[in-house]
Chains A and B, each alone.
Chain A
Amino acid sequence: MVPLQSPVVDDEARAARRATIRDALGLGVAVGLYGAAFGAAAVAAGLDAWQACALSLLMFTGASQFALVGVLGAGGGVLAAVGSAVLLGTRNTIYGVRLVPLLQPRGGVRRLGTAHLVIDESTALALAAPDRANARLAFTVGGGSIFLGWNATTLLGALGADALTGPWLAALDAVVPAAFLALLWPRLQRAWAEPAAQRRVALGGAVVALALTPFVPAGVQVIAAVAAVALAGGWRRR
């Protein structure tokens, strides 16, 4: 009788698993470091360490978290802050739709837990995996390690921010816009679908926000920048 798995296939499968786990853990460590910048930015924006940690634990989607504290820090109201966070969170809905066939989360509890880990990085890891088993592994190990690293470093950043004064505070002020730029950057590159349209929309969004800044309550200009999506074009084609 032929064995179900030959030794060669078994070795390859094990190597693929190892590679998947290595990539997932590596991304977890790298992204986790971002958490320190988030924790510090949240405290500098006027939140306390509990609120910074609650965001990383409960919201757990970096761009939305940075947006929420950015708008609050600029003097924006609750609606503008929540609005920008939620608008940025809509992409996670699309990720979820793409992940369902790969992860097949069955049962209510499983689905509730899986949903919490649906972010840019865990989705990218799962979609890049060679097969469904590795996709699940990459999603769980990557999402889990990012969750742990992100929350631990948020706490460290939040506690450290209180000690920041003078040039250290100026450093943090410069880190926050750079963090947003780093989140935006990959969308403008050639590897992304329709980079020219993405650049148009980004430029439009920045111009709208700056133009409105003197005239609208803080934070509203960020939400209004969504109007720049109209610049994407191609609405009639499909």
Chain B
Amino acid sequence: MSELWVAVLLGAAGCYLLKLAGLSVPSAWVEHPVVRRVVDFVPAALLAALVAVQAATSGPQLVVDGRLAGLAVAALALALRAPFVVVLLLAGATGAGVHLLA
């Protein structure tokens, strides 16, 4: 089996078991204050890291290109409460525009 399939199936199994655990384990285990606090904040750290890595790196290098311009436009659209689909379309159009101009 290829590495990609291993990642797909292992990741899917892990995520499913986490969902099932929530419906199955005694709530006191999960409602422990430290556990709650970590889980409340992990998504912010990871999603922000993914934003940064996807927008401003290429391999081991930091790069500035159309992705960063698209991200800036997306942030503006989000601040103006645009629907998610509009945000994605605007970011994509900006990335394509920079590619055509560069």
Contacts and interface: CB of A to CB of B under 8 A. Distances in A.
Contact of A170 (B22, B36, B73, B95): B95
Interface string A198-219: 1101111111111001110010
Interface of A: 30, 33-34, 37, 46-48, 51, 54-55, 58-61, 63-64, 66-68, 70, 72, 74-75, 77-78, 81-82, 84-97, 99-100, 105, 111-112, 114-116, 118, 166-168, 170-185, 187-188, 193-194, 197-199, 201-210, 213-215, 218, 221-222, 225-229, 232, 234-235, 238
Interface in B60-91: 60-62, 66-67, 69-71, 73-75, 78, 83-85, 87-88, 90-91
Interface of B: 3-16, 18-25, 27, 30-31, 33-34, 36-57, 59-62, 66-67, 69-71, 73-75, 78, 83-85, 87-88, 90-100
Contacts of B10: 78, 82
Contact of B37 (A91, A112, A182, A232): A232
Given A92-B15, A214-B61, 17 more contacts: A78-B10, A88-B47, A93-B21, A93-B39, A100-B27, A118-B22, A173-B95, A174-B98, A175-B95, A178-B70, A178-B88, A184-B43, A201-B48, A202-B47, A213-B60, A226-B45, A235-B34
Given A94-B22, A181-B78, A167 B41 contact: no
B51 A86 contact: no
B69 to A, nearest CB: 7
Contacts of A58: 8-9, 12-13, 16
- 3 nearest CB pairs, A to B: A96-B22, A174-B95, A174-B70
Nearest to A100: B23
B51 A206 contact: yes
Contact of B44 (A66, A114, A198): A198
Contacts of A105: 23
Contacts of B45: 201-202, 204-205, 225-229
23 contacts: A59-B8, A67-B46, A82-B14, A88-B43, A90-B39, A97-B22, A97-B23, A99-B23, A115-B23, A178-B73, A180-B50, A181-B87, A182-B88, A184-B43, A184-B47, A188-B44, A201-B41, A208-B49, A209-B49, A210-B56, A213-B53, A222-B53, A226-B46
